A and B are shown apart, each in its own frame.
Chain A
Amino acid sequence: MNFRSGEGLAARSLRGMRQSPKAMIAAAVCVLLMLSALFAPLIAPQNPYDLNAIDFFDAKLPPGSVGTTGITYWLGTDAQGRDMLSAMLYGLRTSLFVGLTAGVLALLTGTALGLIAAYVGGRTDTLIMRFVDLMLGFPAILVALMILVIFGQGTWKVILALVFVQWAYFARAMRGAALVESGKDYIEAARCLGLSPIRILASHILPNCLPPLIVIGTIQVAHSIAAEATLSFLGIGLPITEPSLGLLIANGYQVLLAGLYWMSVYPGLLLLVLVFSINVVGDRLREILNPRLAT
């Protein structure tokens, strides 16, 4: 990867993405899925939560069946007679909401703590980094599982549990990058100009530390979505009132052995495509933005 001088972060990323057809396809899929989730109420053939729209006589129909009202269920129906495609679009909405919210909140928390650790140094630094090491020593899914087991399920509890297990990755990367940057000449120059510490941190150090944060952020969103699905599948994640993809798959699991494959296979495929494309984009971004960033 060659770096052109004067090229911005966005331009550099975009150029790097264009050089890899695989990453471009993955990015297109990501955008497409996000738009589908955003406009789910407009494009879904049915509102899966509107009891009037659901016909119980249409329950457990295989893909391609035509329902009593004349609607075609391209991906079949679930045990309640819901159109699978519509349920998946709404599920995607929930999954993406939880994944993105958790990712962004973890990014903000981790970045702030990492910056503080790097800037303040001393005991604060030691304390924060010890905690980071501690968090990284435990697998995220296990800690999230324990938190939810203790405190019960719920959308915001899931999000907070995910933030709690992910902030450490951002904090470590942020602190590392900030320490490297603050030793450079331009920061020295900014100090000589008498700029306030806040201003140096926010408008000089932070922007130059963005590349690793973006890479980790992308990967962590994928992790969040997968973790939420797993927790919901286990019955300790989201409540049944907000069925994410994980919960849809859990419902399909009940009837999988009876041969009603579509209730779990299709939502699972959607989840896989979503997580896989985000990971491919993240992997490519890592190659572009920081060739030596460790996984």
Chain B
Amino acid sequence: MTVFLLRRLLQAAFVLLLTSVIVFAGVYAIGDPLEILLPADASAAERAQVAASLNLDAPLPLQYVTFLGSALSGDFGNSFVYNRPALAVIFERLPATLELTFTALILSLAIGLPLGLWAGTRPNTIVDESIMTGSILGFSLPSFWQGMMLIMIFAVWLGWLPSTGRGTTGEILGINTSFATVDGIRHLLLPATNLALAQIALVIRLTRTGVQETLPLDFVKFARARGLSEWRILMVHVLKTILIPIVTVLGVEFGSLVAFAVVTETIFAWPGVGKLIIDSVNALDRPIVVAYILVIVTMFIVINLVVDLLYSLLDPRIRARA
């Protein structure tokens, strides 16, 4: 286990290092760093000052070390737009994104699991066929367009829900969240649904496949022989077996939710990190872009590591192989 952990940590450090090299190459080495790091209306004096402070006359490897050093201490420079440390701006926006992704994750399980179980227990019927076609549709719907259609239907035509923004937040247990107010929840509904739809499709497929692979197994036959009801077999015995792969996949899919949050946040004007990165790209706010990429990559490495560790705890065979 220790070797496994060490190896994974080493790998994680390597990936972070690789990312930092790529980001460095993209932002500092290609093109004029001054062009990128300074606002367009910077004066000649400002240029000279920044050039000196970044010691741009130093050889590239040395510049990289400087960049890495300040990045490691969490210093990515001040955002041009907000005029505050880039990292602080990102961490300020992160809770809104996490709230959105967690809601979507819960929605995808609450809707996907029952539909997958339903389709899985009735293979090759109309129910199964419709649910599976529906899930391909869920995969195929372009997230951004689907969000626009949700706004058009529920906000513009029906007028049931607000179209954009986060609404009022309140405090629950000291955490600022949309769940505290009705207005907050109303604002959360459309973006969370939009983000959840593709994941629902995925959970349906995973659950259905799992059910179909598990039902013919011996332990299910034994359970039947013991006279347990079909409902109990499905909800306790089968579900317990198929939940392991689903939970692991969802761990990884949580990352995919963070990725697609960029799209959903842009459409619904949700004030999270996803909207921030797109706004920053358009405003050429490079410190934010660099900080965002490194923060997200770190987050992913941590998620992947946790998922791997969880998996090896749940299933010792993985540990043996690694």
Contacts and interface: CB of A to CB of B under 8 A. Distances in A.
Contacts, number: 107
B293 A295 contact: no
A253 B147 CA distance: 10
A150 B156 contact: no
A244 to B, nearest CB: 12
A280 B152 CA distance: 27
A142 B133 contact: no
Contacts of A236: 278, 281
B260 interface: yes
A111 interface: no
A276 B137 contact: yes
A146 B293 contact: yes
Contacts of B145: 229, 233, 249, 264, 268, 271-272
A22 B132 CA distance: 12
B311 to A, nearest CB: 13
Interface in B70-95: none
Contacts of A264: 145, 148
Nearest to A267: B145
B133 A256 contact: no
Interface string B252-280: 10011011101100110000000001100
Given A137-B252, A265-B149, A233 B282 contact: no
Contacts of B255: 138-139, 142
B296 interface: yes
Given A137-B304, A265-B149, A279 B259 contact: no
Q: Among B139, B142, B256, B267, which residue has the most Cβ atoms of chain A within 10 A?
A: B142
A230 interface: yes
A181 interface: no
Interface in B272-322: 277-278, 281-282, 289, 293, 296, 300, 304
A272 B141 contact: yes
Q: Among B15, B22, B281, B300, which residue has the most Cβ atoms of chain A within 10 A?
A: B281
Interface in A17-35: 22
Contacts of A261: 152
A22 B133 contact: yes
A137 B299 CA distance: 12
Contacts of A9: none
Contacts of B304: 137
Sorting the interface of chain A by its residue count into under 10, 10 to 19, 20 to 34 or 35 or more gives 35 or more
Given A137-B300, A229-B142, A283 B136 contact: yes
B260 A141 contact: yes
Nearest to B206: A295
Contacts of A226: 140, 142
Nearest to B282: A235
Contacts of B133: 22, 280
B163 interface: yes
Contacts of A141: 256, 259-260
Contacts of A22: 133
B293 A150 contact: yes
B26 A295 contact: no
A180 interface: no
B142 A268 contact: yes
B107 interface: no
Contacts of A249: 142, 144-145, 148
Interface in B154-183: 156, 163
A120 interface: no
A275 B141 CA distance: 8
B193 interface: no
A257 B26 contact: no
